[in-house]
Structure 1
Amino acid sequence: MRRRRNGTMEKAKKFIVKNFVPITFLVLCLLGIMLSNVSVNFLGAELYKRVMRNTIMMLALLVPIMAGMGINFSIVIGALCSQFATVIIIDRKIEGITGFIAVIIISLIMAYICGNIIGYILNRSKGREMITSLVIGLLGTSIYNLIFMAGYGTIITPNNDKIMLSSGIGVQSMIDLKPMKAIILEYPLIPIVFIILVTLIIKYIVGTKLGSKLKAVGSNMQNAYSLGIDVDKSRKQAIIISTMIASVGHLMFIFDIGSLNVYTGHLNVDVFACAALLAGGATLNKANLKNVFVGVVLFHTLFIVSPLAGKALFENAAIGEYFRSFIAYSTIVFSLMINIHNEKKEKIYTQQVHLQ
């Protein structure tokens, strides 16, 4: 009886240690809900919208982690590809289901091309993929802004004057996406279908030969080389898949909102996706579908209630809104600290087992 109790306690302890980050966020969510006094209907409706808008972008992070490349912050480029394609379709005045399909195809083609370039760069910076991908995202943003601030109306001839600034050079900061929003309203299951489709694609990839290669590369790159695996090709494929998924994910986001903020609509998509994934219990080396779906619910529940909870605590709406940015960045720092601590403990335990 005593052994059974000790065994149960040991299992419970291991479960808490392994899932410390999501358990912490669950507790914070419950506290936030209590403090904000938010209704179940409001929370459910808001959470549903956020799950539909953000899940695919989180799914885009899984394949590079599987390949041992850490968090792919260059998913921002996928978001930029979708925004670029959207502006082109709106400029060409292609509406309805034709415009909807066309913008998806163009964004996927652009994301494939950009994914190849990013993959090549990251293969040249092995071991420093995360910081390199972050810089790539910033560089991509600068080039994108230059095209739409100065290129449109000078080098690129616009067809739709309504999206242009009064000077005739540069695209307006906000573009109405009512034709695309109408498609989502008419077929509200589209975001769910895309989430299921992308989930099944990732699950399929994990079970294929490519998935086995990516796991081998992520586990030990030197062993992968010795097994005859084309490491660079596998890593590049992981980034291409990630960038293409990110482009679709961002399209679902902006179509659901119904408007495109041309110059800032893509900002922080990488940070929020990363924070939500880590909140779900993922690490820089391991992440799965469970982490995505647990993370998107926990992180965005806290994201919804935190401003209201902050306002209730400090009686200041501005401070309440600040809580959102604080949560996003503190989630990443907190999760990384816990993950590094757990990895160190695991290494020490493994070394002790080998010595015995």
Structure 2
Amino acid sequence: MRNLKTFIEDFGWPRIIIFFFLIFLFIMAPFVRVRLDASISDVLNRFGQNAIMVLAMVPMIQSGCGLNFGLALGIVSGLLGATLSLQFQLHGILGFLGAIALAAPFALVLGWFYAKLLNKVKGEEMTIAMYVGFSFIMFMCIMWLILPYNNPTMVWGYAGKGLRTTITVEGYWLKILNNFLAIRIGQFFVFPTGLLLFVGLFAFLMWLFLRSKTGTAMTAVGSNPDFARASGVDVDKMRTISIIISTFLGAVGIIVYEQSFGFIQLYTAPSPMVFPAVAAILIGGASINKASMVNVLVGTILFQGLLTMTPSVINSLLQTDMSEVIRIIVSNGMILYALTRKIKVSK
């Protein structure tokens, strides 16, 4: 009984409720004429689309920088890499990997400046990160109009300059991962093997990194910066490395999302992508001080499963669209839950 109570306290009632609510949705699906095979396929696809952006939260959490509300810097880096890939007419796997390679320098530079700022505001990282991320999105709204792109598939047709709000990647690298070794069963179920293998590769690399000498030092900084400093660890350097890695993973994550989703979305489109990543890792059991690969995988599955099943099942039952309401409640509710837990612990 005591073990069960300890588990509930550690895992948290909100996560337990979300888990059983998702199970309920899957059980109810056949009774409201929702195909389970199509729903499971959609959940797997959405998991692969979003998992690397959730993974981007891990380095900063482990180094003590908290939740990366400035993930938009990485996302914008990925958007720059993706648009340059199309500008240079790169196709297929070369176009996809080229987008990542082109995004890397932007992620490195932006991540470095981002780290310099956060190292000066220790203890207030999450608040400052939010302002930095959303401010940079607004800055890029101007830059997307004046950067010298000229690919006809990207620029506004009537003016011949300025990037469109939504740009298709069809004909370039659409579903380049999803279709790799994909397993199709029947008409509706598709197992996105390549997509999941790519996510698994990055999760494995992050797992290895956290067990390396640098990764261990980074975790030590997050756990007890004073002890780490006394042991000869350069605290600011470890924090900088974690922020750069997080920014790069954000760039990779949005490119993976785009190849699966089919479109590059610019201007204010990155704004609503940060909170789902934050909420997902919290649902998976992470805190603002500690995160693991299990938290990433479980949280992404639960969060994306909820967003997938809610429209099809709940909407069929209530005859109204509740998906956006559920998304807002879950995203913001889990963030609030995590922050209140921090206050309780600090007291």
Q: TM-score, normalised by structure 2?
A: 0.88
Q: In structure 2, what is the equivalent of residue 352 of structure 1? A: none
Tell me which of 246, 253, 258 is aligned to 1:249: 253
Tell me which of 259, 274, 281 is aligned to 2:263: 259
The yes-or-no answer on 1:181 pairing with 2:177 is no
Given that residues 75 and 246 in structure 1 are in contact (C-alpha distance below 8 angstroms), is that contact kept between their aligned partners in structure 2? Answer: yes
Q: In structure 1, what is the equivalent of residue 291 of structure 2? A: 287
The yes-or-no answer on 1:144 pairing with 2:140 is yes
1:119-160: CA deviation from partner (whole Å, max 9, x where unpaired): 1111011111111111111122022111112x13xxx2x332
Given that residues 179 and 194 in structure 2 are in contact (C-alpha distance below 8 angstroms), is that contact kept between their aligned partners in structure 1? Answer: no
Amino acid paired to 2:325: Y
Tell me which of 77, 80, 91 is aligned to 2:73: 77
Q: In structure 1, what is the equivalent of residue 335 of structure 2? A: 332
Q: In structure 2, what is the equivalent of residue 5 of structure 1? A: none
Q: In structure 1, what is the equivalent of residue 161 of structure 2? A: 169
- Partner of 2:126: helix, strand, or coil? helix
CA 262–56 in structure 1, closer or farther in 2 if over 3 Å, else same: same
Q: In structure 2, what is the equivalent of residue 16 of structure 1? A: 8
The yes-or-no answer on 1:114 pairing with 2:117 is no
CA 185–217 in structure 1, closer or farther in 2 if over 3 Å, else same: closer
Provide the C-alpha distance between the structure 1 equivalents of 2:343 and 2:319, rounded to a whole number of angstroms: 37
Q: Note the residue ranges of structure 2 that are not aligned, 5 or more in a row.
A: 183-192
What is the CA-CA distance between 1:94 and the residue it aligns to?
2.4
Provide the C-alpha distance between the structure 2 equivalents of 1:164 and 1:301, rounded to a whole number of angstroms: 35
Provide the C-alpha distance between the structure 2 equivalents of 1:339 and 1:49, rounded to a whole number of angstroms: 33
Q: After the TM superposition, which residues 214-253 of structure 1 pair with which residues of structure 2 at under 5 Å, given as runs?
A: 214-253=218-257
User: Which one is further off, 165-174 or 273-282?
Assistant: 165-174
Given that residues 307 and 324 in structure 1 are in contact (C-alpha distance below 8 angstroms), is that contact kept between their aligned partners in structure 2? Answer: no
What is the CA-CA distance between 1:113 and the residue it aligns to?
1.3
1:92-118: CA deviation from partner (whole Å, max 9, x where unpaired): 222233322211101122111111111
Q: In structure 2, what is the equivalent of residue 90 of structure 1? A: 86
1:24-55: CA deviation from partner (whole Å, max 9, x where unpaired): 21122233445564432132111111111011
Q: Note the residue ranges of structure 1 that are not aligned, 5 or more in a row.
A: 1-8, 348-356
What is the CA-CA distance between 1:193 and the residue it aligns to?
2.9
CA 229–255 in structure 1, closer or farther in 2 if over 3 Å, else same: same
1:245-288: CA deviation from partner (whole Å, max 9, x where unpaired): 11111111011111112224423222001111111111111111
1:316-335: CA deviation from partner (whole Å, max 9, x where unpaired): 23x44433233222232234
Provide the C-alpha distance between the structure 1 equivalents of 2:168 and 2:44, rounded to a whole number of angstroms: 23
1:47-104: CA deviation from partner (whole Å, max 9, x where unpaired): 1111110111111111111111110112211111111111122122222333222111
Amino acid paired to 1:138: F
Amino acid paired to 2:119: N
Tell me which of 25, 49, 52 is aligned to 1:53: 49
Provide the C-alpha distance between the structure 1 equivalents of 2:95 and 2:226, rounded to a whole number of angstroms: 46
Question: Share of identical aligned residues, percent?
Answer: 27
Q: In structure 1, what is the equivalent of residue 188 of structure 2? A: none
- Partner of 1:229: helix, strand, or coil? coil
What is the CA-CA distance between 1:224 and the residue it aligns to?
2.0
The count of residues paired between Structure 1 and Structure 2 equals: 330
CA 193–67 in structure 1, closer or farther in 2 if over 3 Å, else same: same
Q: In structure 2, what is the equivalent of residue 6 of structure 1? A: none
CA 320–313 in structure 1, closer or farther in 2 if over 3 Å, else same: farther
CA 52–102 in structure 1, closer or farther in 2 if over 3 Å, else same: same
Q: In structure 1, what is the equivalent of residue 23 of structure 2? A: 30
Given that residues 169 and 259 in structure 2 are in contact (C-alpha distance below 8 angstroms), is that contact kept between their aligned partners in structure 1? Answer: yes
What is the CA-CA distance between 1:184 and the residue it aligns to?
3.0
Amino acid paired to 1:228: G
Given that residues 26 and 36 in structure 2 are in contact (C-alpha distance below 8 angstroms), is that contact kept between their aligned partners in structure 1? Answer: no
CA 216–162 in structure 1, closer or farther in 2 if over 3 Å, else same: closer
Q: In structure 2, what is the equivalent of residue 278 of structure 1? A: 282
1:305-353: CA deviation from partner (whole Å, max 9, x where unpaired): 2234543454323x44433233222232234435654x36xx7xxxxxx
Provide the C-alpha distance between the structure 2 equivalents of 1:47 and 1:39, rounded to a whole number of angstroms: 12
Q: In structure 2, what is the equivalent of residue 296 of structure 1? A: 300
Provide the C-alpha distance between the structure 1 equivalents of 2:235 and 2:116, rounded to a whole number of angstroms: 12
